[in-house]
């Protein structure tokens, strides 16, 4: 039998470069510290398995500290700051298997490290390394876009749509009263016969404005996915941003003349 004192010495004595800016691995360090304190008072003994677990936790904590330190150094060297153009998920890495660690709001400035991989860019937020979707970063500060709220005043409806479709129609109509056609119920497969989809008849750059607005407010509107201009964005794969779709043979089938919105 042995105590954890020797194993945990390194973690307990290690300190981050920038004080409160660095939060990585605090939980694992605290759990090791608690075990060590108990052992020193003679209140607990630990097995070799526990020692190995503690050693792995220490290694993971040290790795987190090293990743954050490297990211801060790279960001300082590059010296660039970009603006978020939408609410963005924060990931612990660039791969599809990365863990989501939170969200950063739109129109926020972030420091970048110069590293890009798999459509994501490494940034430094509060001293920590995070990855965001590259497509939603811009050099210039974005102007505030359309907002939730307001009433539809142009007389259009989303007849037959459920409560979420009504919310989508109300929000889009309030911001773009010039759009005069919304298609909801129709035959065939998919979400339309269920009252869970609406086609917003609009094209060009205004279509992209509408599509981005719906995407940015997906949670509030109960949206599952949006299709426009042969691209799709879905909640399940939100970290990938807009994804290209195969050619379906016509302007309408490829969604160049309308924004399709499906809801829960």
Domain boundaries defined on the chain: 5-72, 79-138, 163-263
What's the start-to-end Cα distance of the chain, in Å?
Answer: 56
Of 199, 209, 207, 187, which Cα lies nearest the Cα of 156?
199
The DSSP element (H or E) to which 59 belongs, if any, is helix 48-78
175-to-101, 216, 252 alpha-carbon distances in Å: 32, 14, 24
pTM of the predicted structure, to 2 decimals: 0.50
Looking at residue 258, its pLDDT comes to: 98
* Third-level CATH fold of 79-138: SH3 type barrels. (2.30.30)
In tens digits, the chain (264 residues) has pLDDT values of 433 333 333 333 333 344 333 334 444 445 555 555 545 555 556 688 888 888 888 887 888 889 899 999 999 998 999 999 888 899 999 998 999 999 998 899 999 999 999 999 999 999 999 999 998 899 999 877 687 878 999 999 999 999 999 999 999 999 999 999 999 998 888 999 999 999 999 999 999 999 999 999 999 999 999 999 999 999 999 989 999 999 999 999 999 999 999 999
Q: Which tokens sit at 85?
A: 């153009």
Looking at residue 80, its pLDDT comes to: 92
Of 67, 65, 85, 77, which Cα lies nearest the Cα of 130?
67
Q: Which tokens sit at 35?
A: 């075990």
Query: How many CA atoms, within 13 angstroms, populate the side-chain half-sphere of residue 190?
Result: 15
Looking at residue 27, its pLDDT comes to: 45
């Amino acid at each position: 039998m042995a105590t954890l004192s020797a194993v945990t010495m390194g973690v307990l004595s290690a300190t981050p470069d920038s004080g409160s800016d660095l939060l990585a691995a605090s939980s694992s360090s605290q759990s090791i510290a608690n075990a060590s304190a108990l052992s020193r008072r003679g209140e607990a003994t630990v097995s070799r398995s526990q020692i190995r677990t503690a050693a792995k936790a220490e290694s993971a904590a040290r790795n987190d500290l090293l990743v954050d330190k490297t990211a801060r150094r790279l960001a300082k060297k590059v010296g660039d700051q970009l603006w978020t153009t939408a609410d963005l998920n924060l990931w612990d890495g660039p791969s599809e298997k990365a863990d989501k660690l939170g969200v950063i709001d739109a129109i926020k400035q972030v420091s970048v490290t110069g590293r890009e991989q798999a459509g994501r860019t490494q940034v430094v937020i509060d001293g920590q390394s995070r990855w965001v979707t590259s497509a939603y970063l811009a050099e210039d500060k974005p102007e505030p876009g359309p907002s939730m709220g307001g009433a539809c005043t142009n007389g259009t409806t989303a007849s037959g749509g459920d409560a979420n479709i009504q919310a989508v129609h109300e929000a889009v109509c309030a911001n773009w009263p010039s759009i005069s056609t919304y298609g909801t119920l129709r035959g065939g497969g998919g979400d339309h016969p269920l009252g869970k989809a609406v086609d917003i008849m609009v094209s060009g750059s205004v279509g992209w404005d509408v599509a981005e607005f719906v995407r940015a407010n997906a949670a509030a509107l109960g949206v599952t996915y949006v299709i426009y201009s042969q691209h799709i964005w879905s909640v399940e794969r939100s970290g990938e941003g807009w994804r290209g779709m195969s050619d379906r043979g016509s302007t309408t089938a490829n969604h160049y003349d309308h924004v399709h919105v499906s809801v829960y």
